[in-house]
Homo-oligomer: A and B are copies of this chain.
Amino acid sequence: MIIPEPPYYAVIFSNQLADGGEGYSETADRMVELAETMPGFLGFETARGDDGFGISVSYWESEASIANWKRQAEHQEAQRRGRAEWYESFTLRVAKVERAYEMKR
């Protein structure tokens, strides 16, 4: 993931999956594919443990690009299903990344 120097924005999405969740992983993959086509998209990372708790972070150039992605029609339908079917709970935070430090072996 190549991300420019700060400042840019992060959407931190912490979530607990509910039991069941038919169609969740296909939709999650599709949303990443779709987000990558959106203006201002910079990158995405995600991790989920066996307990069903996950954290996904997407990175964006501006608040406007986040608002635009939030309104995207297919994404809106995925948000609706997420609230109704897939998530037991979630917290979504919008944050301005002020500095970043990277370490690679």
Seen from chain A, the residues whose Cβ lies within 8 Å of a Cβ on chain B are 6, 10, 12, 14, 18, 45-50, 53-57, 83, 87-105
Contact = CB atoms under 8 A, between A and B. Distances in A.
A45 B14 contact: yes
A45 B49 contact: no
Given A18-B105, A47-B48, A103-B83, A10 B95 contact: yes
Nearest to A15: B103
A98 B95 contact: yes
Contact of A57 (B14, B50, B87, B102): B14
A93 B100 CA distance: 4
Contact of A47 (B55, B83, B91, B98): B55
